[in-house]
Amino acid sequence: MALLNKSNRLKKQLTLINVYAIVTGATLGDGFFLLPGIAAEQAGSAVVLCYLVAAIPLFPAMFSVIELATAMPRAGG
């Protein structure tokens, strides 16, 4: 592999915002499109039940955030 001259190299121009956008896009893309397919392959037709069971721990966390947002409207919301 030949080494490139400094004039032929790509410039390093990624900022923190650029990296954050790339990582967020990859994370959301995996979560919304890749993982449900894998879950459906593993669980078959019970994938809906699996998602409902997985949502149960979400409710206490959601109510905690709502409680904090109403108790401290400036800091929490």
Strand extents, DSSP E, the chain: none
Longest dimension (CA), the chain: 63
Give the whole-angstrom CA distance, residue 15 versus residue 24.
14
* Nearby residues of 69 by Cβ (< 8 Å), 6 or more positions away: 76, 77
Give the whole-angstrom CA distance, residue 10 versus residue 14.
11
Q: pLDDT tens across 7-47, in order?
A: 777 777 888 899 999 999 888 888 888 888 888 899 888 98
Return the pLDDT at 75: 59
Is the model's pLDDT at 2 over the cut of 70?
A: no
